[in-house]
Structure 1
């Protein structure tokens, strides 16, 4: 029957319970060769000037990127405002059924001004009522070919 290991043997570099005896000294890290410990190496101090210059360069680059992002954000805000104004004008021009030529002329700084201008353009662009008798308007010449097709059909068919 195999022997059960002690907790110190079962758990490498650790003890299961404080009352359990510690692992033998052999399991600890080996001593440096030669048996003697030499003087500890002197810690090297970092080059603080180089670190400062690197951090300063990183900070300058971050500031420059921040300024570029701010300029780009301002340009995008202006674009958004312009597109919103165009959408407002287009929506109001559609409400007043303005043709595309007149819809492009709608102006105004706010919705009320745009609406008023679109209303004025709609009044100008509205079709004029036909005046006169016999489908003739007082300012136009009669069409000599109007009704010609009906007359020819009537003659050929004998109607």
Structure 2
């Protein structure tokens, strides 16, 4: 069986100047031959590679790095501020919870102080002792503010006298 000549496929290094082509990549279409300086036509066109401006690339990357560092610093500062706010809110929530446990009115709940939970509880307990309404104990009668019954102990006194107890 006679072999038919197949067009030469370029190697990956030849396909992409300065790089390696993926083996599954179809070959690039052939370009027309271009005349050389001598007037002869070259079989393979010689691409002219432009030299990248490394200094400009370095300066751009340095500027990007500086901008990223600045954003990182700003994000760190913002994160610290948010952590401080979270700590304040957690402390206030603890104070509010403890003030509610001791049934302190809102005016006194705002006055609860302390660095840790034990100190806050102790202060809330002191405020509750001062602020809690104390029941008024009456001297007798149906209402707490009624006058004492003048005859309350009279029956007991008579019984003791009569029976000598």
Tell me the equivalent position of 2:145: 136
Q: With the length of structure 1 as denominator, give the TM-score of the two structures.
A: 0.64
Give the 3 Å change call, closer, same or farther, for CA 87–68 of structure 1 in structure 2. same
Tell me the equivalent position of 1:40: 46
RMSD: 3.0
* Pairing partner for 1:103 from 109, 113, 128: 109
- Once the two structures are TM-superposed, the CA of residue 103 in structure 1 deviates from its matched residue by 0.4
- Once the two structures are TM-superposed, the CA of residue 23 in structure 1 deviates from its matched residue by 6.1
After the TM superposition, which segments of 4 or more aligned residues of structure 1 sit over 3 Å from their partners?
21-26, 28-31, 131-137
Q: Are positions 1:53 and 2:59 aligned together? A: yes
Which protein has greater RCO, CA pairs closer than 8 Å, 6+ apart? 1
Q: With the length of structure 2 as denominator, give the TM-score of the two structures.
A: 0.62
Q: Secondary structure at the match of 2:108?
A: helix
Give the 3 Å change call, closer, same or farther, for CA 44–92 of structure 1 in structure 2. same
Q: Deviations over 1:23-75 (max 9, x none)?
A: 6449x954624682176233221101000000000000000000000000000
CA distance in 2 between counterparts of 1:124 and 1:31 reads 98
Q: Deviations over 1:60-91 (max 9, x none)?
A: 00000000000000000000000000000000
Give the 3 Å change call, closer, same or farther, for CA 34–61 of structure 1 in structure 2. closer
Q: Are positions 1:75 and 2:81 aligned together? A: yes
- Once the two structures are TM-superposed, the CA of residue 127 in structure 1 deviates from its matched residue by 1.0
